[in-house]
Chains A and B, each alone.
Chain A
Amino acid sequence: MPQNEVNLFTSFGLPLLFIFGPLLFSWIFGNIYQKKKQEELGARVQAFGTDNLSTLKTPPGQVSASGLLSANIIMSVSWWQKLLGGIKTVFGGQVETWDGILAWARREAMQRLREQARARGYDNVINVRLETSEIQSSKGRNTAIEILAYGTGIKI
């Protein structure tokens, strides 16, 4: 009977669509978007060539000029990843979604520091520090992570 079918759809189908629709959307487009962005970053790192960052405190050689450099990025997980992470925290163990996001954010912040150093004419960046902090939305529902990379740019 068509009447029953409509009832079934409105009572089960619609709620299911509202619950899983956004998650499905988030899963598909989140994956595509993040993969694309990570590939872009990989290409930037490749194109940049050498790594001019160092955690050493002493410059390798005579320095003619120096200055403080800093680069930051704020990253967040997608709804889908948030759900997976939430499930993972029940059982414990490695939370791969945050793992990946944090590693990506750190790579991006470091690459920005490299590019900034080159743009400002520094040969190397010494004493590079990485700092992580948590940023929360005003309602505390969404958590994002800030990665700050800073160091001293030097001209040799």
Chain B
Amino acid sequence: MAPAEGQPVQTIEMMMSNTETIPGHSIVQMLGVVTGSTVRAKHIGKDILAGFKNIVGGELKGYTELLQEARAQALQRLVMEASSRGANAIVNIRFATSAIAGGAAELMAYGTAVVVG
């Protein structure tokens, strides 16, 4: 099945939730905090195109897609780390974005790796 828009290409079966538990399951074991992050800079061409788009304002689609992909990768890394710890779910996932100098941005996802029953 092709991944839905904005979702990571998942090779590992992992339940994810930003609530404190996976709804309908109970936590058996906690395996600590896992993080996944990626730093992305924009392509200069996209930057110039966005400059033109600024004439009328509104959505900058190129950037929206870029950050979507980047966030998907951060989630992918989160899943990899959790699975290497033997977790089958990640709960209480949070996203954080921080601007780094020179037009680059760091996208991070973090959560708690758990085993649910």
Q: Which residues of A contact B (CB under 8 A)?
A: 22, 25-26, 29-30, 33-34, 37, 57-59, 62-79, 81-82, 101, 105, 108, 116, 119-120, 126-127, 129, 131, 133-140, 142, 144, 146, 148, 150-152, 154
Contact = CB atoms under 8 A, between A and B. Distances in A.
A149 to B, nearest CB: 10
A75 B16 CA distance: 28
Give the dominant DSSP class at B's interface.
mixed
B85 interface: no
Contacts of B44: 138
B18 interface: yes
A116 B18 contact: no
Contacts of B97: 131, 133, 146, 148
Given A129-B18, A138-B44, A76 B99 contact: no
B55 A116 contact: no
Contact of B56 (A34, A74, A135, A136): A34
Contacts of B77: none
Nearest to A133: B97
